[in-house]
Amino acid sequence: MSLRIHQDHSRFKQIVRGKIKSNLRKYVQKGEMIGKKGKDTISIPIPFIDIPHFKYGHKEQGGVGQGDGEVGQQLSPGAVQPGDGHQAGQGEGDHNLEVDVTLDELAQILGEELRLPNIERRQNEKIVTQKIRYTGVNTTGPESLRHFKRTYKQALRRQIAMGTYDASRPIIIPTREDRRYRSYKLQELPETNAVIIYMMDVSGSMGDEQKEIVRIESFWLDTWLRHQYKGLEARYIIHDAVAREVDRDTFFHTRESGGTMISSAYKLCRDIIKADYPKSAWNIYPFHFSDGDNWSADDTRQCIEMLREDILPGVNQFAYGQVESPYGSGQFIKDLREAVGDATNVALSEIADKDAIYPSIKDFLGKGR
Amino acid sequence: MPKSLTPPLRKLKDEIEGHAKEFGLDFFDTRFEVVSYDELNMVAAYGGFPTRYPHWRWGMEYEQLSKGYEYGLSKIYELVINNDPCYAYLLESNSDVDQKLVMAHVYGHCDFFKNNFSFRHTNRRMIDDMANHATRVRRWVDKIGVEKVEDFIDRTLSLENLIDQHAPHIRRNPDPRRAEDEMKSNERVEGFKVDREYMRGFINPSEFLDSQRKRVEDEKQKAKKFPERPQRDVLQFLLENAPLEPWEADILAIIRDEAYYFAPQGQTKIMNEGWASYWHSTIMTRRALKDDEVIDYADRHSGTMGTRPGSLNPYKLGIELWRDIEDRWNKGRFGKEWDECDDLRARRSWDKKLGQGREKIFEVRKHYNDITFIDTFLTAEFALEQKLFVYGFNDKRNSWEILDREFRKVKNKLLQQLTNFGQPIIEVVDGNHENRGELLMAHKHDGQDLKSDYARETLRNVQSLWRRPACIITRYDNKGVLLRFDGQNHTEKKIDL
């Protein structure tokens, strides 16, 4: 049933979408959205969709309440209702509108605003899942799939045809032959799979701020790639002088000290790909974040070699994000640029601060790989 | 789509209607429609009028209502429209006892709509008019384009509370145009008639002519000062004096019409909800309730009457006040003798067995609105019994707290909250401010400052209708301030009041 309100409702949603779009840069820079993430949706506070009026600030106003309590007693949070509901059917007050947006929609908005191209899938329709689709009606089948309406229709048809239907006493009794069942077909659905392999330098020079940037950036990368691929997997590698695989939580909250051997992470990345993600079936996205400091020029050479030989040939895109830190020399990105900067499936981005996350997402995803 | 009543519901309706009439309620013909939850949310989003003009904010309301329901935060039980006939909605999934309760409640509202003086001048064919408004808006949308119309509605809605809230009814006839005055003040200053040219300097010395010119000029100024008296109905002022395109004026008039239609409901919320609750409880407990329905009824009723410390439930406050009035007039607890009696024991056992309670409340429901109702009938005893208090925000502790339980203060705060709908009083004081055609409004400050970001945004919308700079005088932290928006920039000037 279509209600008239749906027109106004979708207009409202459209406006909300516009609001989100125009505030996207702000949202991207702020980490708070990540905290409000539900399973499939995210709550986004929308500023000023309240139609402004000349009115009192509720805090100035106070009001009259009802109940127990001494003078001076605090009222529990949430007990005070702005506006007091003196306006029939209208929710006046200081409420900030929070709108639930699906992650998919958010990704779409991100894509539109940053003009991101859809990803060209390297591996398509390799993995196949089966899905049941109910396609028709049959005269045989399990009772659990009995189609009541069709069964009774059939019985009615038969009774009318046989002249046993009495309109003044409309009782319909289906017989064995009247029974109808839903029939199904197994349909093969191709599904494209993709994996993100996040790598991050957690050596002493990567501070909290740097990691926060990585966290925010990876949220958006995730959101976009998930929008492009159903069944996205993510793996997490942290490294200082050695690399190890961790879960998501550890990834964002570990802090180590000591030196940096980027090659250790690339090695592990290579091994993971080799073990679990054959390039014939998977779209693969390694993302590496560091402050650009590496242990030695020799290690950097190893990294580049590994990239050229093992990693780049098998992945959709290798991305390196260099987060500026007061301690880092920032040399690594220069080396990469020189060595593999021309490769079509390499994306390099320097992220100076939170403001730079927004353009950096474009660096990473703008190629559509 | 809404369905008419099923035979069992029809039977219930006839029963409840019979009880309501028997108790002396007097209402317009009342039509119930049965709707699903989605539909009820929709109708509520439209303020009760499914035929309302298209606008995104109904969509927003709907989103919030549906969400509130999904999360189990709120559920709408009743929705009545002040119209002749009255329309009311029943939720199809409700149990019989709920339906009876809602019906009884609805008859209370319908009686109130028909009899309370605040509603006397409301449009009783509002259902038709709302549909007409929608047609007009749609026509403009077709002609002007949806973006422009919607944008204009947004700006107009921002001003919808700038009507004369407590005017008895909407005024439609504009003051006669000022063309005539304009003509008069354009006379040239010639001085006295001069027959012989050489005499001119003597008959009309230049000082005299100058003073005459000044007088005419002053008069012109004065005549240009409009409105002559401050005007509370800002929307009307804009309608008559702002350089609006015909379509803009039409939409502004629609918004103003609807604002006036809804105003009395805002002014009688406590009385009206209290009255309906009084009647649903009376009808249910005295007549309509079956034994096996008592628990469900009590559950529903107490749910409606629940209070939270930091807000006032108009249903609860209203019903208790009506009962208190009934009780006092039954026992004769009013008048000089009662007021002057300070023997506590005598007061407690005071019962003159007057039995005038019912009669009294019927009379009160006719002649009062929330302000006069509270002012007249809220007593110190009542405030104490109902545990009323004043609360406010403590900046130091960053929390709300109970400020006072003293009767006077409670009552004053309550009255203040109800005055002008709990909204600031704003008037147009000058339509030709500084002789530059700027619009000057004044906020009658009563101790509460305007929310400043909202004030700026609203001023911007006033300016866009007036098309010249718009200003408002108000006070922040007890200092006079003139806010001005000239179409580009906001400025703020300190002024002496």
Residue pLDDT, tens place only, B266-278 = 899 999 999 999 9
| Cβ pair B388:A66 closer than 8 A | yes
Helix, strand, coil tally for chain B in percent (to 5): 55, 15, 30
Which residues on chain B are in Cβ contact (under 8 Å) with A17?
Answer: none
How many Å lie between the alpha carbon of B493 and the closest alpha carbon of chain A? 18
pLDDT above 60 (res B181):
no
Rounded to an integer, what distance in angstroms lies between the CA atom of residue A354 and that of residue A26? Answer: 10
- Quote the ipTM score: 0.82
If phi > 0 it is left, if psi is from -120 to 50 it is alpha, else beta; for residue B24 that is left
Per-residue model confidence as pLDDT tens digits over A255-280: 777 778 889 999 999 999 999 888 87
Contact list, A75 vs chain B (CB under 8 Å): 309-310, 391, 399-402
- Across the range B428-455, mean pLDDT stands at 90
- Give the pLDDT score at B73: 65
Cβ contact A207:A254 at 8 Å:
no
- Check the CA dihedral B33-B36-B40-B43 and report its sign: negative
Q: How confident is the model at residue A87 (pLDDT cuts 50, 70, 90)?
A: very low
pLDDT in tens, B360-386: 999 999 999 999 999 999 999 999 999
Higher pLDDT pick, A100 / A173? A173
Which of A9, A85, A87 lies at the smallest CB-CB distance from B62?
Answer: A9
pLDDT at position A141 is: 83
Residues B258-263, mean pLDDT to the nearest whole number: 93
pLDDT, average across residues A139-152: 86
Q: Which residues of B touch A64 (CB under 8 A)?
A: 312, 388-391, 410, 413-414, 417
Lowest pLDDT segment from A79-88, A95-104, A159-168, A298-307: A79-88
Who wins on pLDDT, A79 or B316? B316
Give chain A positions within 8 Å (CB) of B386.
Answer: 66
At residue A49, what is the residue type? I
Contact A11 B56 (CB under 8 A): yes
Is residue A63 pLDDT above 80, yes or no? yes
pLDDT digits 0-9 by tens, B275-330:
999 999 999 999 999 999 999 899 889 988 988 777 789 999 999 999 999 999 99
Query: A3 at the B interface (CB within 8 A)?
Result: yes
d(CA A165, CA A156): 7
Cite the DSSP H helix spans in B225-293: 234-241, 246-267, 269-283
B 147-176: CB under 8 A from A: 150, 154, 157-162
The pairing of strands B470-476 and B479-485 is: antiparallel
> What residues of A are in contact with residue B311 (Cβ under 8 Å)?
63, 65, 79-81, 84-85
B87 burial via Cβ count (<10 Å: 0-12, 13-18, 19+) = buried
CB contacts, 8 Å: A43 with chain B? none
A350: contact with B, CB 8 A cutoff:
no
Q: Please tell me what DSSP assigns to residue A134.
A: E
CA distance B91 to chain A (A): 16
Peptide bond into B227 cis (omega under 30): yes
Answer whether A89 touches B (CB < 8 Å): yes
Query: Does residue A171 carry a pLDDT above 60?
Result: yes
A170 in contact with B, Cβ within 8 Å? no
- Cβ-defined contact of A86 to B269 (cutoff 8 Å): yes
Question: Of A83, A72, A56, A93, which is closest to residue B392 (Cα–Cα)?
Answer: A72
Distance from C-alpha of B277 to C-alpha of B305, rounded to nearest angstrom: 9
Are residues A8 and B162, on separate chains, in Cβ contact within 8 Å? no
Tally DSSP H helices, then E strands, for chain A. Answer: 12, 11
Q: Which of A315, A249, A313 is nearest to A288 (CA)?
A: A315
Tell me the average pLDDT of chain A.
Answer: 81
Reply yes or no on whether the pLDDT at B480 is more than 60.
Answer: yes
- What is the model's pLDDT at position A34? 67
pLDDT digits (tens, 9 = 90+) for A314-364: 888 899 999 887 776 778 888 888 888 888 888 899 888 888 888 888 888
pLDDT at A91 over 70: no
Inform me whether the C-beta atom of residue A68 falls under 8 Å from chain B C-beta atoms. yes
- Reported as a single tens digit per residue, the pLDDT across A112-136 is 888 887 777 665 555 566 777 787 8
DSSP type of residue A168? T
Q: Note whether B494 contacts A: Cβ–Cβ < 8 A.
A: no
Asked if the C-beta of A59 comes within 8 angstroms of chain B's C-beta atoms, the answer is yes
Whether the predicted pLDDT of B72 surpasses 70: no
SS3 A246: strand
In chain B, residues with a C-beta closer than 8 Å to the C-beta of A87 are 266, 269, 421-422
Q: Please report residues of B whose CB lies closer than 8 A to that of A61.
A: 417, 422, 448
The per-residue pLDDT for B149 is 96
Q: Considering only alpha carbons, which residue of chain A is nearest residue B399?
A: A74
Question: Which backbone phi and psi does A138 adopt, to 5 degrees?
Answer: -130, 165
| B483, containing H or E segment | strand B479-485
Closest by Cβ to A75, choosing from B150, B402, B410:
B402
Structure tokens at A162: 């046989």
Single out the residue of B323, B440, B320, B329 nearest to residue B388, CA to CA. Answer: B320
A16 to chain B, closest Cα gap in Å: 10
Q: Which of A89-103, B145-159, B243-257, B400-414 has the lowest mean pLDDT?
A: A89-103
8 Å CB contact of B314 and A85: yes
Q: What is the mean pLDDT of residues A308-319?
A: 88
Angle at B433 between CA B431 and CA B439, to 5 degrees: 45
pLDDT of residue A1 exceeding 60, the answer is: no
Three-class SS of residue B475?
strand
Name the nearest CA neighbour of B462 among B235, B167, B259, B257: B235
Measured between CB atoms, which of B50, B414, B461 is closest to A4? B50
pLDDT at position A194, please? 84
- B57 contacts in chain A (CB < 8 Å): 8, 12, 51
Residue B442 has pLDDT above 60, yes or no: yes
What pLDDT score does B55 carry?
A: 94
At residue B87 the predicted structure's pLDDT band, cuts being 50, 70 and 90, is very high
Superfamily name and number for A192-366: von Willebrand factor, type A domain (3.40.50.410)
CB atoms B458 and A52 under 8 Å: yes
**Chain A positions in Cβ-Cβ contact with residue B44 (cut-off 8 Å):** 89
From the list A3, A13, A62, the residue facing B42 with the nearest CB is A3
User: Is residue A240's pLDDT more than 60?
Assistant: yes
